[in-house]
Amino acid sequence: MNATIPNPDALTPTSHRLVSEVFARYVRAADHRDPDAMESVFWENATVAVYYRGEGQSQLLAELTGAATIATAVTTAMAPHPARSWSHHTTVNPLVSVAGEQARFDAQFIVYNAAGAARPDSGWPADALGAQGVITPIECGYLKADLRFRDREWRISHLRIEHDLPYAFPAR
C-alpha cells in the first residue's frame, strides 16, 4: 500500500504521518530484501547517495539513479540473511517538514541483526526460557531525504544515507 491521501488540500498533519510511513515501508523493504517494495517508495528518476561520514569528512561511497536501480541494490549490495537470521532497519528521532508538495525527512537509523540460535537436537535445556539467539547492532547513521507529493502519494526523490561506520560494497 502506498502512502496516499484522498484530499490533496489536506496536506499538513496527514502528510507528516504519510512521509514517515514512506520510511516505514523503506526499512521493511530493506529488511525483506524486496526490490518491488523498495521501488514503490521512490520516484522513477530518484537518486540515492551513500556516504561514510567518519574522520571529519563525508566520503561518497556510491550513487544510484533510478527507482529500478535502487530496487536492485537490495539484492546485490546487501548481504542475504543467514539461516534463522534477520535484519531490522530502524529509524529514530525523525524530523519531518512539509511545504506544499515537498517534504524533508531527517532521521537517525540503526540496523540490528537478529540471529536465532539453532534448537539442539535434544531440545532446549530445561532452564531455557524466552528468545534464543543474539541481537547485534551493525550499522548506524542518518537518513536525509527529499520527498515529492505527486499523483496523490508521497515518494522519495532523493535520499542521502550517511554511515557512521566504514562501509564495504561488493566488488564490481
For residue 120, give the CATH number of its domain.
3.10.450.50
CB-neighbour burial class of residue 121 (10 A; exposed 0-12, middle 13-18, buried 19+):
exposed
Does a structural domain hold residue 4? Answer: no
Predicted confidence at residue 13, as pLDDT, reads 67
- Give the chain's domain count: 1
Q: Confirm whether pTM is higher than 0.75.
A: yes
State pLDDT tens for residues 113-126. Answer: 999 999 999 999 99
CA-to-CA distance for 151 and 148, rounded, in angstroms? Answer: 10
Mean of all residue pLDDT scores within the chain: 90
Does a structural domain hold residue 168? Answer: no
Alpha-carbon distances of 78 from 31, 66, 126, 134, 172, rounded to whole Å: 10, 18, 38, 20, 14
Does a structural domain hold residue 134? Answer: yes
Q: Which domain holds residue 45?
A: 12-163
State pLDDT tens for residues 82-109. Answer: 899 999 999 999 999 999 899 999 999 9
Task: Kindly report the backbone phi and psi dihedral angles of residue 37, in degrees, each rounded to the nearest multiple of 5, phi listed first.
Answer: -65, -40
Does a structural domain hold residue 1? Answer: no
Does a structural domain hold residue 93? Answer: yes
Does a structural domain hold residue 171? Answer: no
Does a structural domain hold residue 172? Answer: no
Per the DSSP assignment, residues forming a β-bridge with 89 are 111
